[in-house]
A and B are shown apart, each in its own frame.
Chain A
Amino acid sequence: SQTIHQWPATLVQPVGSPLSLECTVEGTSNPNLYWYRQAAGRGLQLLFYSVGIGQISSEVPQNLSASRPQDRQFILSSKKLLLSDSGFYLCAWTEQAHNEQFFGPGTRLTVL
Chain B
Amino acid sequence: DQQVKQNSPSLSVQEGRISILNCDYTNSMFDYFLWYKKYPAEGPTFLISISSIKDKNEDGRFTVFLNKSAKHLSLHIVPSQPGDSAVYFCAASALGTYKYIFGTGTRLKVLA
Contact = CB atoms under 8 A, between A and B. Distances in A.
A50 B34 CA distance: 20
Contact of A100 (B42, B46, B97): B46
Interface of A, helix, strand, loop or mixed by DSSP: strand
A51 B98 CA distance: 8
A102 B47 CA distance: 10
B102 A44 contact: yes
Interface residues of A, number: 27
Contact of B95 (A51, A98, A100): A98
Nearest to A102: B46
A44 B43 contact: no
Interface of A: 6, 32, 34, 36, 42-46, 49, 51, 57, 59, 88, 90, 92, 94, 97-98, 100-106, 108
10 contacts: A32-B98, A34-B100, A36-B102, A43-B89, A46-B100, A94-B98, A97-B96, A98-B95, A101-B91, A108-B41
